[in-house]
Amino acid sequence: MPPPKDWTLSELRELLDKGSISSVEITQHYLQRIEKYNSNLNTFISVIRDQALILAELADKRIANKDNVLPLTGIPIALKDNILMKDVGATAGSKFLKDFVSPYHSTVAKKLLDAGAVIVGKTNCDEFAMGSSNENSAFGPVHNPWKHGFAPGGSSGGSAASVAARLVPAALGTDTGGSIRQPAAFCGVVGLKPTYGRVSRYGIIAFASSLDQVGPLTRTVKDNAMVYDSLCGHDPMDSTSSKHPNEITYKALDSVRDLKGLKIGFARELLTERIDPLIRDNVLASIEIYAKLGAVITDVSLPHLDYGIACYYVLAPAEASANLARYDGIRFTARSPRSMNVEDTYAKSRSEGFGPEVKRRILLGTFVLSTGYYDTFYLKAQKVRSLIRQDFMNAFQNVDVILTPTTPSPAFPLGSKNENPLDMYLSDAFTVPVPIAGLPGISIPSGFTNDSRPMGIQLIGKPFAEKTLFETAYSFEQETLFHERVPTL
């Protein structure tokens, strides 16, 4: 048996099913680790110890009675703090929602609880999921478990770092422009952004509605598939939720042997001089591994991906400027005590409540939707969105999966990009086009730098081809075993 801190979700499942350990014992183990390491890593905004232990007891009864035991029954899991759970705080990393307690369950929280999962707490994130380093949290930055003082990535940095540090076997994140995949790469874990519409957005504090998706962060590909299977499916509470039939993805993974016949597309044009040479070498090496595993590597062209960041930073802020209008100081908690009238309440509460990055994006979004600029920016960006989607669809005529680096560089030091937001935005260059096209994308560990910073590759699939992504990722993982390396805390 591996040392306890290294249990994967699938291993925990086996132990629980065999009765060799109880959910309460597992939960206590993780709660202790959180208690021990959270002050240093700052990955959790809130820990719901008592509720978690009650959930664990219920799960143990369920397992003892063999009553509808599902892959996540008894498994501790963390939620990014923009995912609502009834009667539990949800800040979305913002001072504005510091005291907000959700009156209702998000659909994903409800699905997890129905499956018997043990929700242990809410993880730190960039304010309203806007950021790539977790430095935009009102509750302080998260540290990368592999290297203190380095960014864990963002915005789901708390979720990725918690999984990497073995504070939970799995966590949920949300991804709008890379917020699951980029921190997964920085923290050396597996992060999936499902196809748009696959997982319900009901109860997810919205950033950009046409891009936001919930997805799992886990140590292994199989663990990821187990969580994903429990999350997806149509939700009548979300009008953008897809009716595409559910499928079980995790069970077939064990039988994946090689990738003979799988066509992997690779766009060499993406490896520009902006890419860190370490990443360039890593992705080329990863391509070699795939070739060795039997995949056919095919060149593809994605000419419009270069416009991805520009397109994203018009559309996402536009939607965010409206989505964040409800935080107005009239309701929730953060009304400025200095306001004199209604206008003043709005201006002061919002000035005091939001952090600088959120304000920057609200201003940007308000601007691109204004009379006289709508056509030039918003409509133009929508057209670019169609072109990017078309690039992918053309490429998918010839290949099954597209491979890119997840990030242009490995984790950078905290504070190193604060002066230049554009530089920060570019760290999402490879991840942003995927939600723009509504496609599924997964980031998996693909190696380490000499100073132990993880690197990741991204696999992009056709709409609803999550199963193919898992299989492609699993085969690489079993060949390379990067997931077995443990950070020293």
Partner 1 sequence: MNYETVIGLEVHAQLKTKTKLFCRCENIYGQSPNTLTCPVCLAMPGALPVTNIQAIEFAIKAGFALGCEIQNHSVFSRKNYFYPDLPKGYQISQFDLPLCLNGQLEVTIADQTLNVRIQRIHVEEDAGKLLHGDNLQNKEGSLVDLNRAGVPLIEIVSHPDMRSAEQAAEYLRQLRSILRYIGVCDGNMEEGSLRCDANISIRKPGEQTLGTKVEVKNMNSFKNVQKAIEYEVERQVQFLESGKTIIQETRLWNPDRNITTSMRSKEEAHDYRYFPDPDLLPLELDTQWIETIKSSLDELPHARLQRFQKDLKLPPYDASILTSEKEIADYFEHTLSLYDESKTPAKAKALSNLIMGDVLRLSNELSTPLHQMKITPVHLCKLMNLIDEGQISGKIAKDILDDMAKTGQNPEEIVKEKGLTQISDQGTLHRCIQEVIENNPKQVSDFRAGKEKILGYLVGQVMKATQGKANPAMVNTMLIEELKK
Catalytic residue numbers, as ranges: 80, 155, 179
Please, where are the H alpha helices in 68-140? 107-114
Least Å distance between CB 237 and partner 1?
A: 6
Contacts of 109 (CB under 8 A, 6+ apart): 79, 83, 84, 85, 86, 119, 203
Max CA distance (Å), the chain: 69
| Residue span binding partner 1 (CB under 8 A) among the ranges 37-45, 47-55, 92-100, 455-463 | 92-100
What's 253's DSSP letter?
G
| Residue span binding partner 1 (CB under 8 A) among the ranges 82-90, 253-261, 407-415, 470-478 | 82-90
| 106 in contact with partner 1 (CB under 8 A) | yes
Give SS3 for 171: strand
| 330 in contact with partner 1 (CB under 8 A) | yes
| 101 in contact with partner 1 (CB under 8 A) | no
Reading the block at residue 485, the tokens are: 């390396």
Cβ proximity to partner 1: between 291 and 342 the closer is: 342
Least Å distance between CB 110 and partner 1?
A: 12
User: By CB under 8 A, what part of segment 21-50 binds partner 1?
Assistant: none
| 123 in contact with partner 1 (CB under 8 A) | no
Nearest alpha carbon to residue 398 among 300, 268, 281, 267: 300
Cβ proximity to partner 1: between 49 and 234 the closer is: 234
Helix (H) or strand (E) holding 460: strand 454-461
Cβ proximity to partner 1: between 377 and 470 the closer is: 377
Provide the residue type at 166 as one letter.
R
| 352 in contact with partner 1 (CB under 8 A) | no
Cβ proximity to partner 1: between 64 and 379 the closer is: 379
- Whether the Cβ atoms of residue 119 and residue 112 lie closer than 8 Å to each other: yes
Cβ proximity to partner 1: between 245 and 372 the closer is: 372
| 302 in contact with partner 1 (CB under 8 A) | no
> Is the torsion defined by CA of 192, 195, 196, 199 positive or negative?
negative
Least Å distance between CB 212 and partner 1?
A: 9
User: By CB under 8 A, what part of segment 160-219 binds partner 1?
Assistant: 201-206, 208-210
Total residues interacting with partner 1, rule: CB under 8 A = 42
Provide the residue type at 123 as one letter.
T
| Residue span binding partner 1 (CB under 8 A) among the ranges 59-67, 289-297, 324-332, 395-403 | 324-332
Task: Identify the residue among 90, 119, 444, 459 touching partner 1 (CB under 8 A).
Answer: 90
Least Å distance between CB 332 and partner 1?
A: 8
Cβ proximity to partner 1: between 15 and 322 the closer is: 322
Contacts of 313 (CB under 8 A, 6+ apart): 364, 425
Please, where are the H alpha helices in 293-341? 308-323
Residue corresponding to tokens 């789901």 = 156
| 238 in contact with partner 1 (CB under 8 A) | yes
Task: Identify the residue among 45, 72, 92, 295 touching partner 1 (CB under 8 A).
Answer: 92
Cβ proximity to partner 1: between 20 and 370 the closer is: 370
Site track 240-279 with partner 1 (rule: CB under 8 A), x = hit: x---------------------------------------
- Exposed / middle / buried, residue 315 (Cβ in 10 Å: 0-12, 13-18, 19+): buried
> How many Å apart are CA 46 and CA 52, to the nearest integer?
12
Strand partners, 77: 119
Nearest alpha carbon to residue 144 among 116, 164, 130: 164
Contacts of 420 (CB under 8 A, 6+ apart): none
Cβ proximity to partner 1: between 84 and 264 the closer is: 84
Contacts of 78 (CB under 8 A, 6+ apart): 44, 119, 120, 121, 122, 123, 158, 159, 162, 167, 168, 170, 171, 172
User: By CB under 8 A, what part of segment 357-376 binds partner 1?
Assistant: 366, 369-371, 374
Task: Identify the residue among 69, 84, 119, 426 touching partner 1 (CB under 8 A).
Answer: 84
- Whether the Cβ atoms of residue 448 and residue 454 lie closer than 8 Å to each other: yes
| 113 in contact with partner 1 (CB under 8 A) | no
- Whether the Cβ atoms of residue 90 and residue 122 lie closer than 8 Å to each other: yes
| 318 in contact with partner 1 (CB under 8 A) | yes
Three-point CA angle 284, 453, 444, nearest 5°: 55
| 378 in contact with partner 1 (CB under 8 A) | yes
| 320 in contact with partner 1 (CB under 8 A) | no
What's 270's DSSP letter?
G
Task: Identify the residue among 102, 156, 249, 446 touching partner 1 (CB under 8 A).
Answer: 102
Residue corresponding to tokens 């994605």 = 302
Least Å distance between CB 93 and partner 1?
A: 12
> How many Å apart are CA 483 and CA 446, to the nearest integer?
9
Helix (H) or strand (E) holding 480: helix 466-480
Residues of this chain that interact with partner 1 (CB under 8 A) are 82, 84, 90, 92, 97, 100, 102-104, 106, 201-206, 208-210, 236-240, 318-319, 321-322, 324-326, 328, 330-331, 342, 346, 366, 369-371, 374, 378
